[in-house]
Amino acid sequence: MSDPVLVVDDLRVAFPNRDGGWVEVVRGVSFTLGKERLGIVGESGSGKSQTGRAILGLTAPEGRVTAKRLAFNGIDLLNCPPKQRRELRGGRIAMVLQDPKFSLNPVMTIGDQIVEALRAHTKLSKADAKKQALAALDQVQIDNPERVYKLYPHEVSGGMGQRAMIAMMLIANPDLLIADEPTSALDVTVQLQVLAILDALVLQRGMGLIFVSHDLRLVSTFCDRILVMYAGRVVEELSAGGLAHAKHPYTLGLLNCLPQLGANRHPLPTLDRQPEWAL
Ligand SMILES: Nc1ncnc2c1ncn2[C@@H]1O[C@H](COP(=O)(O)OP(=O)(O)OP(=O)(O)O)[C@@H](O)[C@H]1O
Ligand SMILES: [Mg+2]
């Protein structure tokens, strides 16, 4: 592996509960990431998004984030000045969220938003920024960048919005992209297109990618490594080709629930969660 882009050691995220105590929703997650594609899978509520948000510094203000080490290219994220953290976010670390409709600004055109994102992190003139924004839209395979540049988010399809979002995140040339279920709101063909775009960009630019998803099969075809999360912990780490070597009963349960061609699946398998998995 190349020099680590990101080191996460014993990351914990907790929120206050009603009794004045704390509930840990991320409970000691550790991994390192080079210029590679890391998938994080796990069921709803397992702490995937909270892990991504903690890395970006976007945990809700009432939350508490601790770690033995949380470092990006050697920068200690938990102890660096807030200004430096803000500059990193959207600059060298970017995040694509699940639903572009909630992540894009509804009252600004797509083009203006990309230009704004770019000018927040560079000193380009307006004209140069526009040129780069159009190039970025072209790079995510939007056919008519000039036209889409002038559209508002509600005027574009989900897939196009998602690609515009990716263009906006990538324009600052991040070293690390966190994509939180970037394709789950899209139909399968558009999903594959968006994945292919992300894949090409990771290769061309040599950035690190954390790809969060529910979909174990999708993640295993697309990522180099997979972390399986359950109840705030990483219960298993697999290489992409290594699904067959999965050992944790939760991962095995997930695999068993995948549809199989030609198999007689009556009744449909369900996941039998054991209380000890959450310990
Ligand atoms: N501001 C908050 N206050 C209290 N609890 C929170 C807060 N934000 C998130 N949580 C809790 O943290 C846990 C982990 O949430 P997270 O969003 O990381 O799950 P996830 O794995 O991304 O799930 P999904 O697949 O549904 O997106 C959940 O139980 C959630 O209710
Ligand atoms: Mg989530």
- Enumerate residues with CB within 5 Å of ligand 2 (an ion): 49
Range with the lowest mean pLDDT among 38-52, 81-95, 138-152, 161-175? 161-175
Q: Choose the weakest-confidence range: 91-95, 132-136, 233-237, 262-266.
A: 262-266
What secondary structure does DSSP assign to 6-66, as a single string? EEEEEEEEEEE-TTS-EEEEEEEEEEEE-SSEEEEEE-TTSSHHHHHHHHHT---TT-EEE
β-pair partners for 69: 9
Q: How confident is the model at residue 220 (pLDDT cuts 50, 70, 90)?
A: confident
Q: Is the pLDDT of residue 263 over 80?
A: no
pLDDT tier for residue 113 given thresholds of 50, 70 and 90: very high
- In angstroms, what is the span from residue 135 Cα to ligand 2's centroid? 30
CATH of domain 6-272: 3.40.50.300
Per-residue confidence (pLDDT) for residue 100, from 0 to 100: 66
Mean pLDDT value of segment 73-96: 91
Pocket test for ligand 1, best of 19, 48, 218, 254 (most atoms within 8 A of CB): 48
Q: Residue 1 above 60 pLDDT?
A: no
For residue 262, name the pLDDT band (cuts at 50, 70, 90). Answer: confident
Q: Where are the domains of the chain?
A: 6-272
Q: Would the pLDDT of 40 be above 90? A: yes
Point out the ligand nearest to the CA of residue 47.
1
Q: Is the CB of 232 under 6 A from ligand 1?
A: no
**pLDDT score, position 111:** 94
Calculate what percentage of the chain has a pLDDT beyond 70. 97
CA of 45 to the centre of ligand 1 (A): 5
For all residues of the chain together, what is the average pLDDT?
88
Nearby residues of 12 by Cβ (< 8 Å), 6 or more positions away = 24, 26, 27, 28, 29, 64, 65, 66, 67
From the CA of 50, the nearest ligand is 1
C-alpha span between 228 and 108 (Å, rounded): 38
Q: Which atom of ligand 1 is nearest to the CA of 98?
A: 27
191 lines ligand 1 (CB under 6 A): no
Q: How far apart are CA 250 and CA 129, in angstroms?
A: 47
Q: Which residue has the higher pLDDT, 3 or 145?
A: 145
In this model, does residue 204 exceed pLDDT 80?
Answer: yes
Sorted by sequence, the CB contacts under 8 Å of residue 126 that are 6+ apart come out as: 115, 119
Going by alpha carbons, the residue nearest to atom 24 of ligand 1 is: 44
Tell which atom from ligand 1 comes closest to the C-alpha of 212: 22
In angstroms, what is the span from residue 18 Cα to ligand 2's centroid?
A: 23
Cβ of 59 less than 6 Å from ligand 1: no
**Is 80 exceeded by the pLDDT of residue 187?**
no
- Calculate ∠ Cα 48-4-12, nearest 5°: 35
| Phi-psi label, residue 80: left if phi above 0, alpha if psi -120 to 50, beta otherwise | beta
